[in-house]
Amino acid sequence: MCAAVLGCAGASRLLSGQTVCRGGTQRPCYKIVYFHDALRRISFEEAHQTCGRDGGHLVSIESESEQRLIEKLIESLLASDGDFWIGLRRKEEYVDNSTECQGLYSWSDGSTSKFRNWYIDEPSCGSEICVVMYHQPSAPAGVGGSYMFQWNDDRCNMKNNFICKYSLEKPTAASEKNSQVGELQTCV
């Protein structure tokens, strides 16, 4: 697996930087966007649009092995606290019962994967429609363990980091040009 320079979303909200591809160029590829400055983090919709303008989608995590790969990429950042938007979102119906609620989530890229990695007692539903991957290394462990890499439903207007995915089917010129081995960087 290669390391990668990670994209930064500037004031224009466009990504720059390099994607991470398995084996260097094998797809799918990923772009992990992490901001040291929490004030620069963005909403779910902004993240969704930013990935789309860059030729990708917010990440769909389709298997446990893909989940572990994303975890390793995030761990390599040595980043402080800051959750990551993923491409899972619930239909905007208000539902109290989490048993009914779980079936209402779908991936923004159309993936049909049923893989889920919810934190204990999640999703909680209600007004929380969009999904983050926890990344809170300094938080004390809760009932379900540490707040690291499990998923949590959240309000879509919250400001977070995000992860883009570039599919096997639709390689993009932007990600082809930027896919290479490099050093890890984050946004300040």
- Say what the pLDDT of residue 126 is: 81
Q: Which residues, 6 or more positions from 81, have their beta carbon under 8 angstroms from its beta carbon?
A: 135, 136, 137, 138, 139
Instruction: Kindly report the CATH number assigned to the domain that includes residue 96.
Output: 3.10.100.10
Domain that includes residue 122, residue range = 8-178
* Residue appearing with tokens 């969704």: 48
* Most confident listed range (91-105, 130-144, 160-174): 130-144
* Residue appearing with tokens 């290669």: 2
Percent of the chain with pLDDT over 90: 50
Domain assignment present for 187: no
Q: Decide: pTM greater than 0.85.
A: no
Domain assignment present for 113: yes
186 or 88, higher pLDDT:
88
> 41 pLDDT exceeds 90?
yes
Query: Which among 70, 78, 94, 71 has a CA at the least distance from the CA of 155?
Result: 94
Domain assignment present for 188: no
Domain assignment present for 102: yes
Domain assignment present for 33: yes
> Contact 9/33 with Cβ under 8 angstroms?
yes
Domain assignment present for 17: yes
Per-residue pLDDT of 109-158, as tens digits, reads: 988 888 999 999 899 888 899 999 999 888 888 878 889 999 999 999 99
Mean pLDDT of 63-82: 91
Query: Which among 120, 92, 124, 119 has a CA at the least distance from the CA of 106?
Result: 92
Mean pLDDT of the chain: 78
Domain assignment present for 183: no
Torsion sign across C-alpha atoms 43, 141, 188, 58: negative
Quote the number of domains for the chain.
1
Domain assignment present for 184: no
* Residue appearing with tokens 């896919």: 179
